[in-house]
Chains A and B, each alone.
Chain A
Amino acid sequence: MKKKSGFNVKMFSQTAMLSALTIVLSFLEGMLPELPVPGAKLGLANLAVMTATDLFGLTGGLSTTLVKSFFALVTRGPVAGFMSLCGSLLSMFVMWLFMRYDRKKFGYVGIGVMGAVSHNMGQLCASFAMMGSAVLFYSPFLILIAVFTGAFTGIVNSILLPIIRKSEKYA
């Protein structure tokens, strides 16, 4: 029992830390030049969402996703907040599904790419709902951008996650 409550405290503090990390990454991303695709973001903050989803499942994924979307809502307005929410929720859910059920057939890079592609497709669906068919023109560019950012996210997590898990064992 004691061990379980200790784990929950750790889970809470680590999720809070990863949520804070999504804000830092979103902020850094905001300073980069705009991509030539409307509404598209590099998705650096997705990195911490992937870490949280891997460590704590849906709970971790949802917490970081909501914090990230709330940050977008406050800093970039309701449209960006809505787009962020659609993209991140879909992305987090897809990553969670594959982490749970793929029996490790995919690597971290594959999970990262799937997360990034679904993030951008979720955003595309949101802008499709708001603006109509014109936004579909950007779908191939969104896919290509996602392959790069997703691979990056996956590589960083392939280094980060084993370190976190190892430190957990000796804590």
Chain B
Amino acid sequence: MNNNKERKKVTVLDFVLIAVLVCTALFIILQQNKSDGGELEVVVKKNSEVVFNRSLSDISGVTEICVDEEFNVIICMEPDGVYVKSSDCSDKVCVNTGKITKSGQAAVCLPAHVSVELKGGKSEVDVVVG
């Protein structure tokens, strides 16, 4: 019935939608970058199972662990943050993420199914997924 009228290229509602989406994204980014002086915890997962879990303050000097034999994902931990040092994956997204230093931040290697995240700190958002 309303086929005879062509849809508009862009409407007011489109701009509202875009504004809401951009604001949501910026709000989440702000939350993620809240600096928190609290305890940070390193959680390394392989296939969503925790394979390594330690408080960052318990790490003295530079610690390296190799998580995945197939992709040789090497995670390097320092007292101020964590990063993926190297991985044999094709995309290198994990390595290019760089050092993560705040609660809620993460580096992910999708081909190897490996993730490193920082949890805890003062940020009250601490979702536990069972």
Residues in chain A within 8 A of chain B (CB atoms): 34-39, 79, 103-111, 113-114, 117, 127, 129-141, 143-144, 146-147, 151, 154-155, 158, 161-162, 165
Contacts and interface: CB of A to CB of B under 8 A. Distances in A.
Say whether chain B's binding surface is mostly helix, strand, loop, or mixed.
Answer: mixed
B117 A105 contact: no
A25 B77 CA distance: 40
A155 B14 CA distance: 12
Nearest to A77: B111
A110 B129 contact: no
Q: How large is the interface on B (under 10, 10 to 19, 20 to 34, 35 or more residues)?
A: 35 or more
B11 A110 contact: yes
Given A131-B45, A137-B32, A34 B7 contact: no
B60 interface: no
Interface string B41-70: 001010110000000000000000000000
Contacts of A103: 2
A38 B24 CA distance: 20
B35 interface: no
B116 A134 contact: yes
Nearest to A145: B25
Interface of B: 2, 5-11, 13-14, 17-18, 21-22, 24-26, 28-29, 32, 43, 45, 47-48, 91-94, 96-97, 104-111, 113-117, 127, 129
Given A106-B17, A117-B21, A143-B25, A36 B96 contact: yes
Contact of B22 (A131, A141, A144): A144
A147 B21 contact: yes
Contacts of A34: 91-93
Contacts of B18: 109-110, 113, 147, 151
- Give the most central of A111, A131, A139, A161: most B CB within 10 Å: A131
9 tightest CB-CB pairs across the interface, nearest first?
Answer: A110-B14, A134-B115, A132-B48, A134-B106, A140-B25, A137-B106, A38-B110, A158-B9, A140-B28
Given A36-B96, A38-B109, A131-B47, A107 B115 contact: no
A132 B110 CA distance: 11
Given A133-B127, A135-B115, A151-B18, A106 B11 contact: yes
Contacts of A147: 18, 21-22
A165 B117 contact: no
B75 to A, nearest CB: 12
A162 to B, nearest CB: 5
Contacts of A136: 106
A133 B48 CA distance: 8
A141 B5 CA distance: 35
B110 A39 contact: yes
Given A107-B9, A132-B129, A134-B108, A113 B113 contact: no
